[in-house]
């Protein structure tokens, strides 16, 4: 009997329902003319608003169920890095420079020792992204947040604001066939697809391993492999924008490579073909372990859920590829060309000897 195909929806995150729910966001467009300046510019991955002589990019993000892995490991000093990364990596997509951060912890109990550990990660992330943290909030909401261990449940939200001059906005409207996609290396699963990771890898949620099991080929216990903080791309990205013209950029998070379809709405007639994936060992472990816990994750599902080794991408002219890669790597992040812009109107991936149509 063939194992059931396991998808992200089976872990409790339904892509179709989520996409349908997001349609309600169009209601917010009625507010775009409000405020002192009354101007909002819609971009492929978020919107910016006018504030005097420049535009501001305001983003609020969470780390999702990765907080449960922190509780499982009983380690809390890295999750704040994830929170900062999810916010600032989104702010830079418009071409903006992050200016500041604020955090919001909803907790079961605001234990001083836990708060100090949580904030260690916030401070580290702030230093990496060169952002002050002028404020934040901790709310004790025991009736809402329980967690795996009594008193240690929490949720984390981080907001960031950045600014960009009108002439520096990355609109995504000038992408053409023949352009290249340069990828910046991820540190692992980051903060996306974690519900599926938990379902497959950890016995707590029906998976295979105890959190502190060691697996051949890994340097750390499996829970710490999954907890590896999300990489922050502020420095390499901003350095790249100074060196070459960036036509589009993407934080490769939820929906992974399908997410490139947003560019197709702003630059008509284009498509994407990806042929260079460098998934860290944890991605292979997830896929190989799935059949042992009652499911199979197809290659297509892996590419629709996980970053598969590349956490951020920039679209540049073919002639600028080498320069972009050089600048990124001098900024301390591995980089390579991972794909090409086509005129097909579809998104395909060449992976494991197969050509997969993702969209």
Q: For 162-205, write each residue's pLDDT tens digit.
A: 999 999 999 999 999 999 999 999 999 999 999 999 999 999 99
Could you tell me which of 161, 162, 165 has the C-alpha nearest to residue 53? 165
Q: Tell me if 4 is assigned to some domain.
A: no
Query: What CATH number is attached to the domain comprising 63?
Result: 3.30.1330.10
CA dihedral 40, 41, 45, 51 (to 10 degrees): -60
Cα end-to-end distance, the chain, whole Å: 29
For residue 353, the tally of other CB atoms under 10 A from its CB is 6
Kindly state whether residue 175 falls inside one of the protein's structural domains: no
DSSP secondary structure string for all residues of 307-330: -TTEEEEEEE-GGGHHHHHHHHHH
Q: Token pair 């502190």 is at which residue?
A: 212
213 and 350 co-located in one domain: yes
CB 358 within 8 A of CB 271: no
Question: Domain for residue 220, yes or no?
Answer: yes
- C-alpha–C-alpha distance, residues 140 and 111, integer Å: 10
Residue 12 placed within a domain = no
pLDDT at 1 over 80: no
Residue positions counted in the chain: 359
Structural domain ending residue among the three candidates 139, 168, 197: 168
Q: Which domain holds residue 133?
A: 32-168
Whole-prediction pTM value?
0.94
CA angle in degrees (0–180, nearest 5) for 227-149-117: 50
For the segment 4-37, what is each residue's pLDDT rounded down to a tens digit? 777 766 666 776 777 788 788 889 899 999 999 9
Residue 13 lies in a domain: no
Q: Are residues 98 and 211 in the same domain?
A: no
Residue range 313-329, pLDDT digits in tens? 999 999 999 999 999 99
Residues 6+ away with beta carbon under 8 Å from 227: 66, 69, 70, 73, 75, 78, 79
């Amino acid at each position: 009997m063939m194992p059931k195909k396991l998808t992200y929806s089976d872990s409790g995150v339904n892509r179709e329902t989520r996409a349908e729910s997001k349609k309600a966001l169009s209601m917010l467009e009625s507010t775009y003319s409000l405020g002192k300046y009354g101007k909002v510019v819609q971009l492929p991955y978020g919107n910016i608003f006018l504030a005097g002589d420049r535009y501001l990019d305001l983003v609020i993000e969470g780390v999702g169920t990765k907080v449960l892995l922190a509780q499982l490991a009983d380690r809390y000093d890295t999750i704040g890095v994830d929170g900062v990364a999810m916010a600032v990596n989104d702010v830079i997509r418009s071409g903006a420079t992050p200016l500041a951060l604020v955090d919001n912890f909803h907790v079961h109990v605001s234990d001083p020792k836990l708060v100090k550990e949580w904030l260690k990660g916030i401070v580290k992330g702030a230093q990496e992204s060169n952002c002050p943290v002028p404020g934040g909030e901790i709310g004790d909401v025991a009736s809402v947040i329980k967690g795996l261990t009594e008193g240690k449940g929490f949720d984390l939200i981080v907001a960031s604001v950045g600014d960009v001059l009108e002439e520096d906005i990355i609109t995504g409207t000038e992408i053409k066939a023949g352009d290249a996609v340069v990828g910046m290396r991820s540190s692992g699963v980051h903060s996306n697809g974690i519900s599926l990771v938990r379902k497959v890898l950890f016995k707590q949620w029906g998976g295979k391993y105890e959190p502190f099991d060691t697996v051949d080929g890994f340097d750390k216990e499996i829970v710490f492999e999954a907890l590896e903080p999300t990489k922050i791309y502020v420095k390499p990205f901003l350095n790249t924008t100074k060196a070459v013209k960036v036509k589009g950029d993407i934080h490769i998070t939820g929906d992974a490579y399908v997410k490139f379809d947003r560019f197709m709405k702003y630059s008509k007639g284009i498509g994407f073909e990806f042929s260079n994936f460098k998934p860290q060992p944890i991605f292979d472990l997830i896929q190989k372990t799935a059949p042992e816990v009652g499911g199979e994750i197809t290659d297509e599902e892996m590419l629709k859920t996980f970053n598969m080794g590349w956490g951020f991408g920039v679209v540049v002219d073919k002639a600028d590829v080498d320069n972009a890669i050089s600048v990124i790597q001098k900024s301390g992040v591995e980089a390579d060309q991972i794909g090409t812009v086509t005129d097909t109107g579809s998104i395909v991936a060449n992976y494991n000897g197969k050509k997969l149509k993702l969209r």
